[in-house]
């Protein structure tokens, strides 16, 4: 396989595209957010594969290996990073009207209350980690009064952030 002289900026660019759904991005068009919601797994795996392929064919690999290590680190600790992202979304929407809620993090799908969703009540719901009928969601319900025992033998209530925000884990 012939080695190519690939510019160093390509490595962080590919890594950034793959990990963009963990980084706060302000003033994002909704189309880009929906794209990251719908194709998160494809974007992550394609970026990782492309990064490995570029490293294998590059003459200068130092930046590629650094970006690959950071990329793998983020994937391994994605659950903890999502916890920081959730706190950031809560902070970002603090003091806003419910109708003005938005997310600075790509991959969070904002849902409005709907009568078809009878299982929980909420004012706003930010879905993420959507796969095969399961999802995690950051839920806003003003003065929800939920506790860990609110859902008897149902472990959907994963975390109570404060009196208005909680984390829902919904499975099929």
Collect all residues with Cβ–Cβ distance below 8 Å to 119 and sequence separation of at least 6.
Answer: none
- CA 127 to chain CA centroid, Å, is 9
Domain locations in the chain as residue ranges = 10-76, 80-170
Average pLDDT across the chain, whole number: 84
Kindly report the pTM of this predicted structure. Answer: 0.82
User: 22-44: buried (b, 16+ CB within 10 Å) or exposed (e) per residue?
Assistant: beeeeebeeeebeebbeebeebb
Residue 145 CA to residue 124 CA, distance in Å, equals 16
For the cut 50, the answer to whether the pLDDT of residue 166 exceeds it is yes
Token pair in block for residue 110: 């904002």
For the cut 80, the answer to whether the pLDDT of residue 167 exceeds it is yes
Q: Is the CB of residue 72 less than 8 Å from the CB of residue 64?
A: no
Q: Is the CB of residue 54 less than 8 Å from the CB of residue 70?
A: no
| Average pLDDT of the residues in 72-91 | 91
Q: Is the CB of residue 130 less than 8 Å from the CB of residue 109?
A: yes
Residue 158 CA to residue 170 CA, distance in Å, equals 10
Q: Would you place residue 45 in the very low, low, confident or very high pLDDT band (cuts 50, 70, 90)?
A: very high
């Amino acid at each position: 396989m012939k080695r190519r002289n690939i510019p160093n900026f390509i490595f962080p660019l590919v890594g950034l595209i793959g990990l963009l759904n963990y980084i706060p991005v302000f003033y994002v068009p909704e189309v880009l957010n929906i794209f990251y919601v719908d194709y998160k797994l494809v974007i992550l795996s394609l970026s990782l594969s492309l990064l490995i392929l570029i490293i294998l064919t590059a003459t200068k690999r130092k930046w590629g290996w650094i970006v690959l290590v950071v990329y793998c680190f983020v994937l391994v600790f994605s659950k903890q990073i999502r916890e920081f992202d959730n706190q950031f979304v809560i902070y970002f929407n603090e003091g806003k009207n419910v109708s003005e809620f938005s997310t600075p993090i790509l991959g969070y799908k904002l849902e409005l209350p709907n009568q078809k969703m009878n299982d929980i009540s909420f004012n706003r719901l930010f879905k993420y980690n959507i796969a095969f009928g399961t999802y995690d969601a950051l839920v806003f319900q003003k003065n929800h009064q939920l506790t860990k025992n609110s859902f008897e033998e149902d472990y959907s209530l994963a975390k109570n952030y404060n009196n208005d925000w909680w984390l829902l884990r919904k499975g099929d």
